[in-house]
Structure 1
Amino acid sequence: MSRFDKVINRKQTDSVKWDYTKKIFGVENVLPMWVADMDFSVPEEVTAALHSRVDHGIFGYTMPGTNMEKAVQSWLKKRHSWEIDTQTITYSPGIVTAISLAIHAFTSHDEKIVVQPPVYYPFFEIAQKHEREVLFNKLILNEDFRYEIDYDDLEAKLSDEKTKLFILCNPHNPSGRVWSREELTKIGDLCIKHNVTIISDDIHSDLLLFGNSYTPIASIREDIAKQTVTCIAPSKTFNLAGLQASLVLIPNDSLKRRYHDVQQLFGLLSINTLGADAMEAAYSYGERWLDELLPYLEENVVIIEDYLKEHLPEVKVMRPEATYLVWLDARSLNKTDKELQELLLKKGKVALHIGSKFWENGEGFLRMNIACPKSTIIEGMERLVTALKA
């Protein structure tokens, strides 16, 4: 039996995923398979590090130190063959926070930002809240049911003299697509050509499935690195989202100064003590745990593929190359997203993210979180099929 088969009761822990379905979806007693956190306990070494800090009993001001920087540097080199200078590291409570600060630092009110929908919705929602115009470079579904980039459209949008920022998602959320070195090089070249800064959200980069490999866009060439701000975190990898600890890597000194000025403006200069301890422990000692997790996630993907093939073949599965998110294509059912959501919540008693949340070209899709025990996966599939067959 795998450690990940253990079912842990998360109710009455103020879990957004498990305790707030009434507030978020308007219904109670549904199986939550929507928000991107895991139903797995963290590595024992992370728990031990937190216990050690709590047992110490003092929680004064702290700053991540040399040990943290070395842990991050070693992790990126070993897992992704990416050698970074520790001087490029800065910290953020979360990647959404980091992207918001970057938008404030690198754009002004009359300037534009490019995103690639269907994509993680805070990208365009935060940009719009900053009163920036968002340009949508829609991803294209090819004949192999895989997303590709429309480079002609991308260049048209990057060439707009008011476009100053491009937000990349690698690996891509919600599809799980891992962009290749060739694809990323094309993006980097275009952004350099048109002097557009790249914000690369790489939070899912450790969750590689089915033999796929990840290339950080900033690792390709020095000139692309100088154009790029990379956001990473242990939060998805090790289920630490609630501890609010992320990293921002900025090799360009000028960009780093501008980003730091905005950090000072909003008083967001570091991360909390427990988050720092968990991050250092995860990157230092969490590799064995992660290596056990990844094949478990692959097995969950296969369960979903086989179940739908047998019981509801009209719904197609986009096999993720990374992440613990599965993008389901329910367009053949000819239902609106509102109708799909109502069926899922009322007939199936299961909560998923509807595709239009990730912008209009996601309509008819569903995003399912599969980072849960196999028993939950099977129950979720039973509920999903019950709902959509209705």
Structure 2
Amino acid sequence: MSIFDEVHDRLNTRSMKWDMRHLVFESEDVLPMWVADMDFKAPKEVNEALIKRAEHGIYGYTAVDNEVKDSIVNWVKTRHNWGINREWLSFSKGVVTTLHMAIRAFTEVNDKVLIQTPVYTPFYKVIEAHDRKIVKNPLFKEDNYYKIDFKDFEEKLKSGVKAFILCSPHNPVGRVWKKEELEEMARLCLKHDVVILSDEIHADLVFNGEKHIPIASLSDEIAANTITCMAPSKTFNLAGLEASYAITTDKEKREKLIDEFNKQGHGNGLNTMANTALEAAYKYGAPWLNELNSVLEGHKNYVTEQLENRTDLKVTRSEGTYLLWIDCSALNLNAEELKQFMIHQAKVGLNTGIDYGEEAAQFMRMNIACPRATIEEGVNRIIEAVNNR
């Protein structure tokens, strides 16, 4: 049996996904397939490194040294073919935290910030929390596949946009952007003097035949206009340890970002266990990740196949992440009705599409980073509930 088939009991571990069901869904009966963490153990090398560090028993202030930085440099080069320098790195507890600081550092109150909807919910919050204005470049779906409206993209940039938050790979629609798409977005941002804040937290989670390309790796000029946010958290199921980093090639931008962290009291480092886990994951986790991606693609194919002959539920074609974007519009339910149907009839805890944008009111997001037995149970519950409507 694969390590990814093993079912782990996560109850009573203070798991947001499992132990907070009564708060999120007002029910303990739902099978949780929502918040983006995995029901898999981290690589054994990571757990062994954490145990060894804990055995030392002293948890004083911890530095991010060159060995940790080199593990990142080597990972990004090996995995994404991008040669970066240690000096370009800065650190934070999470990508969302970095986005908050970047919005403050590179835009002013009332400035416009562009996002491509439907998109990861915190993007809205990091803009509005600092009194900036959201500008939307809606993605459009063609043949069950999301694409960028570049004409609208440029028109929006021309309206006075100062920053663009890119989601790459895209959450929730699962697109892994092609080189030509990235080049065109980058070209237009340079043309209109718009800084790119690139959330690439799902960079390592791509399916066979697909390739994640960091937008900043396209050219030195594009890199100088980009703050790239990455982390091992989604890749290796380390979200609770709070480890992420930004890659900023431009010295002035990097110093400005770090200064904003310091002004807001966040500092520029990682906690003791985050340091340890990040290094171990990037040094030893590649074989585990390769198997994981194969498992996730199998899960995606299973769910797609189970629903492909139905007219009422459709899985959007995706190329990466462990999140499926399911079109439920044929059920003819509004956003609240769809949410309640999934909770009370299907008894499956999914993310509601409307949280990612008004245009997604009849979609649901499913997390497939769990054992196959959980996937099968969740899909069967949904199918049975729809059949019994």
Normalised by the length of structure 2, the TM-score is 0.98
Alignment of 1:164-179 (within 5 A): 164-179=162-177
For 1:382 and 1:126, how far apart are their aligned partners in 2? 37
Match of 2:349 in 1: 351
Match of 2:276 in 1: 277
Deviations along 1:355-377, whole A, 9 cap, x unmatched?
11101111211110000000000
Alignment of 1:40-51 (within 5 A): 40-51=40-51
Match of 1:110 in 2: 110
Match of 2:75 in 1: 75
For 1:364 and 1:373, how far apart are their aligned partners in 2? 27
For 2:332 and 2:277, how far apart are their aligned partners in 1? 45
Deviations along 1:206-232, whole A, 9 cap, x unmatched?
011131111110000111000000000
Alignment of 1:78-157 (within 5 A): 78-142=78-142, 144-157=143-156
Match of 2:53 in 1: 53
For 2:347 and 2:313, how far apart are their aligned partners in 1? 18
Deviations along 1:79-113, whole A, 9 cap, x unmatched?
11111111110001000111011111111112110
Match of 1:19 in 2: 19
Structure 2: state its 5+ residue gaps.
none
Partners of 1:105 and 1:262 within 8 A in 2: yes
Relative distance call for 1:107 and 1:196 in structure 2 (3 A) is same
Report the CA distance between 1:313 and its aligned residue: 4.0
For 1:328 and 1:380, how far apart are their aligned partners in 2? 13
Q: Using the TM superposition, name which of 264-273 and 243-252 deviates more.
A: 264-273
Partners of 1:201 and 1:232 within 8 A in 2: yes
In the alignment, structure 1 residue 252 sits paired with structure 2 residue 247: no
The two structures, once aligned, show a CA RMSD in angstroms of 1.0
The correspondence for 2:379, drawn from 356, 378, 381, is: 381
Alignment of 1:161-240 (within 5 A): 161=160, 163-240=161-238
Would you say how many aligned residue pairs link Structure 1 and Structure 2?
387
The DSSP-based 3-state class of the residue aligned with 2:324 is strand
The DSSP-based 3-state class of the residue aligned with 2:110 is coil
Matched residue type, 1:192: L
Partners of 1:200 and 1:230 within 8 A in 2: yes
The DSSP-based 3-state class of the residue aligned with 2:321 is coil
For 1:388 and 1:12, how far apart are their aligned partners in 2? 32
Partners of 1:301 and 1:319 within 8 A in 2: no
For 1:11 and 1:297, how far apart are their aligned partners in 2? 23
Report the CA distance between 1:129 and its aligned residue: 1.5
Matched residue type, 2:186: G
Report the CA distance between 1:300 and its aligned residue: 0.7
Q: Using the TM superposition, name which of 235-244 and 103-112 deviates more.
A: 103-112
Deviations along 1:213-269, whole A, 9 cap, x unmatched?
111100001110000000000000000000000011111111111111111112222
Matched residue type, 2:206: L
Match of 2:298 in 1: 299
For 1:31 and 1:319, how far apart are their aligned partners in 2? 24
For 1:233 and 1:198, how far apart are their aligned partners in 2? 18
Partners of 2:145 and 2:318 within 8 A in 1: no
For 1:30 and 1:333, how far apart are their aligned partners in 2? 20
The correspondence for 1:330, drawn from 324, 328, 331, is: 328
Matched residue type, 1:300: H
For 1:212 and 1:244, how far apart are their aligned partners in 2? 28
Runs of 4+ in 1 over 6 A off after TM superposition: none
Report the CA distance between 1:320 and its aligned residue: 2.1
